[in-house]
Amino acid sequence: MPQFNDYRHILSALLENRFIVAVVSSCFCLVVFFWVLFVKRYYSPVRTKILIVGRSGEDEQPGSGKTTLYHVLRTGKVPKFHSVTSMVPNEGTFIPQGSKSLKEMNFVDFPGNERMRVELEEQILQAKVVVYVLDLSKLQTDLRKEAISLFEIFKLLKKRNRKAIPVLVFCNKVDLCENVELDKVKNLLGDEIMKYQRELASAGGENVMLATNRDSLFACSQYVVTFESGSAAQGLVAPVIQFLERI
Ligand SMILES: Nc1nc2c(ncn2[C@@H]2O[C@H](COP(=O)(O)OP(=O)(O)O)[C@@H](O)[C@H]2O)c(=O)[nH]1
Ligand SMILES: [Mg+2]
């Protein structure tokens, strides 16, 4: 059996060889470097990111209200700006106005433009919460488009393998609607997404089956979806704040 002294001799012989010392210390530096990167990515404050997503305006139609919601959360006031479909995310760290218990959070109002898909994927991987803003006043006419948009978000969320992320579907513009029944909205959207994924699968698309039924579509190991309603332009965003307070 080799004795302690033998190991000491081997070690001092190795340390005398500068090449070996250089290789070992480079490896050590590399390991530390990757470890720091890993810790930064998975445990940094970035994970307090509240990502606001949803469809943007198209063909002269207004967007769902993401930027309005962002401003109401930030300032407590309804913005007096003309809606422009942006290609740049709005980002800020603040305590949402109207909350007594929340700490500072990093909010990102992410434009729903198709061309920003790669960036959206990156944002979703880093998010702590996703708030999907849906224009309830156009749900009947835009049901398929909303279903596709939400399907794409769920697909990206499925790529996460950490703890389930809370997703809020904020049914916005209730001031333009009568008799809002959130269960009905959830069922309508759920059925349309299921229909869409079946169509994709029968057209030969790969990896498009998100879920086999509506329940597992809205709650799985990667995300859990809650539905709330309100009106950003009327300053009625308390359900969003209460949702953030619960998580
Ligand atoms: N009636 C009504 N209009 C809203 C509401 N929220 C936003 N809007 C309007 O919808 C338009 C698009 O809003 P915006 O926040 O720019 O949408 P985004 O493209 O999703 O960022 C603007 O004219 C807003 O004033 C709401 O709750 N009710
Ligand atoms: Mg916007």
Which of ligand 1's atoms lies nearest the C-alpha of 54? Answer: 20
In angstroms, the CA 227 to CA 243 distance is: 10
With contact defined as beta carbons under 8 Å apart, do 192 and 136 qualify?
no
104-149 pLDDT, tens per residue? 999 999 998 777 888 999 999 889 999 999 999 999 999 999 999 9
Contacting residues for 189 by C-beta, under 8 A, at least 6 apart? 134, 139, 143, 146, 147, 150, 169
Q: Is a pLDDT exceeding 70 seen at residue 53? A: yes
Ligand lying closest to the C-alpha of residue 53: 1
pLDDT bin (cut points 50, 70, 90) of residue 80 is confident
Which of ligand 1's atoms lies nearest the C-alpha of 234? Answer: 27
Across the chain, mean pLDDT equals: 89
Q: Is a pLDDT exceeding 90 seen at residue 235? A: yes
- Rounded to the nearest angstrom, the distance between the alpha carbon of 33 and the centre of ligand 2 is 38
Alpha carbon 195 to its chain centroid, in Å, reads 24
Name the residue at shortest CA distance from atom 22 of ligand 1: 83
% of the chain with per-residue pLDDT over 70: 92
Kindly state the average pLDDT of the residues 227-246: 97
Q: Is 138 in the pocket of ligand 1 (CB under 6 A)?
A: no
